[in-house]
Amino acid sequence: MTVFDISFRLTGGPIPVDHGYRLYSALSSLLMALHGDMEIGIHPINGNPIGNRLLAITPSSQLTVRVPAERIPDILAVAGEHLDIGGNSVIVGVPSIRTLVPAASLCSRLVVIKGFMEPEAFLDAVRRQLAKLDVRGTPISSQRVRLLSRIGVEMEVRNRVGYAVRFASATRRSLGSRFELTD
């Protein structure tokens, strides 16, 4: 399966720092087929922190969606739309499309696995899920580096706990920008 990142410039805002779930909801309301689709990943939007847990949208702020090639037309439909993200509106601009480049290591700012909130149990759950996905790599443990840092994030109406995770010597298969693992 060939996978692409589609990036759209954004204007408007500001948006909440913890905007992941709100962004997913806004996109799902425009594209009903997106809801629950495990083949599509949505990257966090970058911006400048301005206080009060808000990010200012900057000229480099982008909405980036990772999508299989056959789903590109679905995602292009958001160009020109207004998204309500946490009560603030952003306008989705013109898209650019790029292919993924294989990497020897992968990082995720946030991985959440329901029911696994302690570091070692969390790493064990990550290892099991990687094995199920046939991904050969080693999640770097908290003993080797301090990359496994606990992060709280607002999702839906609850706060969730997850960890930043880095995978070393991963195969050339892409995991996408989002990990939604179950154990």
CATH label, 3-99, candidates 2.60.40.1180, 3.30.70.1890, 3.90.1200.10, 3.40.50.1000: 3.30.70.1890
Mean pLDDT of 48-52: 91
Strand boundaries in the chain, DSSP class E: 3-12, 15-16, 41-42, 48-51, 54-56, 62-68, 82-85, 88-99, 106-113, 138-139, 150-155, 158-168, 179-181
Instruction: Round to whole Å and give the CA distance between 6 and 72.
Output: 8
Nearest Cα to 112, choosing from 81, 75, 158?
Answer: 158
Q: How confident is the model at residue 91 (pLDDT cuts 50, 70, 90)?
A: very high
Q: Rounded to whole angstroms, what are the CA distances from 180 to 36, 37, 81, 87, 88?
A: 11, 11, 27, 26, 26
pLDDT, one tens digit per residue, over 3-44 is 999 999 999 989 998 888 899 999 999 998 888 778 888 998
| Residues 110/161, Cβ–Cβ less than 8 Å | no
Strand boundaries in 57-157, DSSP class E: 62-68, 82-85, 88-99, 106-113, 138-139, 150-155
Q: Specify the pTM.
A: 0.71
Mean pLDDT of 42-56: 91
Whole-number pLDDT of residue 145? 36
Mean pLDDT of 98-103: 84
Instruction: Round to whole Å and give the CA distance between 153 and 160.
Output: 5
The domain spans of the chain are: 3-99, 106-181
| Residues 174/108, Cβ–Cβ less than 8 Å | no
Whole-number pLDDT of residue 158? 56
Q: How confident is the model at residue 81 (pLDDT cuts 50, 70, 90)?
A: very high
Return the higher-pLDDT residue of 13 and 97. 97
